[in-house]
Amino acid sequence: MKRYQKNLIASLLFTLTGCASSGNVAPAVAPQSEDQPAEAATVAVAAENANGSTSFTDDQADGGREVFRSQCTECHASSEFADSQFKFKWSRRHAGSLYQMIQTQMPETAPGSLTDEETVGLVAYILRMNGFEPGETELSADPEVLDGISLSSIRN
């Protein structure tokens, strides 16, 4: 009886070990499938950005409007940043290019003087003027994030 049990356990162990070695692929695959939700989430955020939603907050856009009023209206009217010419030009680009352009070239009298926060606010303000919906998530000044936000939808 005991011997039988031992044999049973031994053969079970053998089977398990056998399974484990033939199933070596399984543990390698498992982490991948665990990674998939994260990848899927990244894709979802990118898709959201492409659709023009929830990539910046109302507060950021309001902050950008304040900066605009104090530093940009000397040369620009806000309507310039949502007219058909602006839409035509920028709809072929990404938010990262707009960010870069503003931060490195504007205001024309003091290029490079805007902080990351001010520049992100200005981009958020311009996005909002062009029909992007504000959401819960703040727009980041990370170039990779900004470069992932297509402005193609502003033409509509």
**Residue numbers of the site for ligand HEC (CB under 6 A)?**
68, 71-72, 74-76, 86, 89, 101-102, 106-109, 114, 122
C-beta of 95 vs 122, nearer to ligand HEC: 122
Nearer to ligand HEC, 107 or 148 (CB): 107
Please check whether residue 140 is in contact with residue 120, taking contact to mean a CB–CB distance below 8 angstroms.
yes
Q: Cα–Cα–Cα angle for 46, 47, 52, nearest 5°?
A: 95
Note the residue count of the chain: 156
Which CB atom, from 57 or from 151, has the smaller least distance to ligand HEC? 151
Q: Using the minimum distance from each CB to ligand HEC, give the nearer residue, 50 or 82.
A: 82
Q: How far apart are CA 12 and CA 63, in angstroms?
A: 67
Say which amino acid occupies 50: A
Ramachandran angles phi, psi of 94, nearest 5°:
-115, 160
The two three-digit tokens of residue 80, written as one number? 């310039």
How many Å apart are CA 37 and CA 43, to the nearest integer? 10
